[in-house]
Chain A
Amino acid sequence: MVFENLDEAYFIIFCILIGIEVIGNVPSILHTPLMSGTNAISGIITIGAVILLLDISETDYLNLVLGSLAVFLGTLNISGGFFVTHRMLAMFNPKTKKHV
């Protein structure tokens, strides 16, 4: 189970260090796309919603509705986040200027 040895602690600490390290030198011009991109990545929570929804009993209607909503909202976070980031970044690319 979780936290039964120090492996989890190592895992968490390394993830924190990676998170700080990878965006360390980002120029301010990229702050908005980066925020949007990380926002999309935090949509990975949808995985949890999918796991739960697949596990809910077929007659538990309330939870089926809640679960579907969770998957829907989570996926919206992912898809919207990545598409918006793409759209912002496409504007920095001179070749695809006409992009509306």
Chain B
Amino acid sequence: MFNFLEGTYLISIVSFIWGLKFLSNPKKAKFGNWIASMGMALALGVTFVSLGINGTLKINIILVGASILLATILGKVVSKRVEMTEMPQLVSFFNATGGACAVFIGIIEASRINSLEPVQFTSLLLGLFCGGVATSGSVLALRKLSRKVSDYRYSWIKVLSRGLLLTSLLLITGASFGWIGFNFLQLSLILGGLALCYGVLFVLPIGGADMPVVISLLNSITGITTALAGILLDNKIMLAGGIIVGASGILLTIMMCKAMNRSLIKVLTGSFKGSNNQQTSSGEQVYQEGNVAETALLLGLSKRVAIIPGYGLAVAQAQHILRQTQKLLVAKGIHVDFIIHPVAGRMPGHMNVLLAEAGIEYKALKEMDEVNEEMSSYDLALIIGANDVVNPAAETNSSSPIFGMPIIKAYQSNSVVVLKRSMAKGYAGVENELFNKDKCKILFGDAKESLQLITNELKLI
């Protein structure tokens, strides 16, 4: 029976690897997701059945079955109901549940077992700690994404969080060598508590703009936690799955940092705004307010239009009306490109998902690098709820905290219209010089309403 189980695990591991490989390819991604989920169902199902048959404990079998069934249904319902704009939050939420699962595993094991191999003992404690950090960190990242929590950058937070990390690591080391007198359960509860606090303090000072990176990193930490649990339970598939997720998660994190031209260390220490806090007190911005009729006219008279979407589009749920606008423009023989910054929105690829949801064709979506050299060929750049990703300060002002970040060179196009709710700063919290330029008009209001008005106006032209 056991060999049968091991064989199944092997098949599942291969399906995960293939699944990930396909998930990295736009044409095969759906199949990749399907094959990975089948591998997962197989592994879970066979584990349940083969261990359930041997076991005589009826209640446990019912509990396992009921938990799996309920969670599967709930997962399906939640993932169908949630708005596409809230995808990043949802990914973060599911990551938190995985971390919490690891915490419970650690506590249960600690309460039942008195002696373990040294390696397993350490993995249990480390896994418990990583799981706790992933859980509370993901929950806070989620709250930050939905702007329920703002950034706290007091220096005592950093001191406290480093202190907590050090204490926890000392505790794990001490316990592994048998220097600490707590019993196993006490130790695991203390460590779990420390980990939850550390997760919060770890994410608290990190800027909201960096949340995608943080979620990706926490995702990778959950992977590592899974691998540690695999060592603890001497289970190959948990070890393999965990390590693969951990490794690819770290790579993905680094790729995201590169897209923003930031180092991972700077993201983690929250030094994005640190330099900025001292210099925000510059005077009021001078800008020109545009109006709907003028914007519609500008659009109608252009030959080539670049639409640059940002998080404001997602917040306003304006992707469907944007599709209408695009249709109208194309019908008038105007060339429309959507230019997507690698980190537009709150997650890489977030904008692509939203625009695809609205039915905008794949070929109209351009990545920043594809078109950045020919931005001056556009008659109009329509910026919808994006700010930092078009801020020329990233290229010109070496004292700006976003200096060096690649931007879409919207300022090179012949004219610029920005749809914005207010003159508030972008997520990075810096002034945008683009808005001061003569060729730039700002149209205030909710992106969805503004686009609706513009579209109505366009129909008349």
Q: Is the CB of B100 within 8 A of A51?
A: no
Contact B101 A11 (CB under 8 A): no
CA distance A86 to B19 in the complex (A): 12
Residues of B within 8 Å of A58, CB to CB, are: 57-60
Q: A23-B24, A45-B238, A90-B30 are in contact. Are A54 and B57 (CB under 8 A)?
A: yes
Q: Shortest distance in angstroms between B91's beta carbon and chain A's nearest beta carbon?
A: 5
Q: How large, as a class, is the contact surface on chain A?
A: 35 or more
A47 CB contact (under 8 Å) in B57, B235, B348: B235
User: In the complex, what's the smallest C-beta–C-beta distance from A63 to chain B, in angstroms?
Assistant: 5
Q: List B contacts of A11 (CB < 8 A).
A: 236, 239-240
- Provided the pairs A32-B353, A86-B30 are in contact, do residues A42 and B241 lie with their beta carbons within 8 angstroms? yes
* Cross-chain contact of A80 among B67, B79, B349, B359 (Cβ < 8 A): B79
Q: Are B244 and A46 in contact (CB under 8 A)?
A: no
Given contacts A77-B97, A84-B87, whether A56 and B43 have CB atoms under 8 Å apart is no
CA distance A35 to B89 in the complex (A): 12
| A90 contact set on B, CB distance < 8 A | 30
- Which chain A residues lie closer than 8 Å to B241 at the CB level? 41-42, 44
Q: Mark A34-67, 1 if CB is under 8 A from B, else 0.
A: 1111111111111111111111111000111011
Stretch at the interface among B105-113, B161-169, B294-302: B105-113
Taking the complex as formed, is A10 at the interface, i.e. its CB lies under 8 A from any CB of chain B? no
- For the complex, is B268 an interface residue (Cβ under 8 Å from A)? no
Interface residues of B in 240-269 (CB under 8 A from A): 240-249, 251-252, 255-256, 259
Cβ contacts A to B, 17 pairs, < 8 Å: A1-B117, A18-B244, A19-B20, A23-B248, A30-B25, A31-B255, A31-B349, A35-B91, A39-B219, A40-B36, A43-B98, A56-B57, A67-B63, A73-B71, A73-B98, A78-B44, A81-B94
B residues at A contact (CB < 8 Å): 16-17, 19-21, 23-26, 29-30, 32-34, 36-37, 40, 43-44, 47-48, 51-52, 55, 57-61, 63-64, 66-68, 70-76, 78-80, 82, 84, 87-88, 90-91, 93-95, 97-98, 100-102, 104-105, 107-109, 111-112, 117, 119-120, 215-216, 219, 222-223, 225-227, 229-249, 251-252, 255-256, 259, 340, 342, 347-350, 352-353, 356-357, 359, 361-362, 365, 367
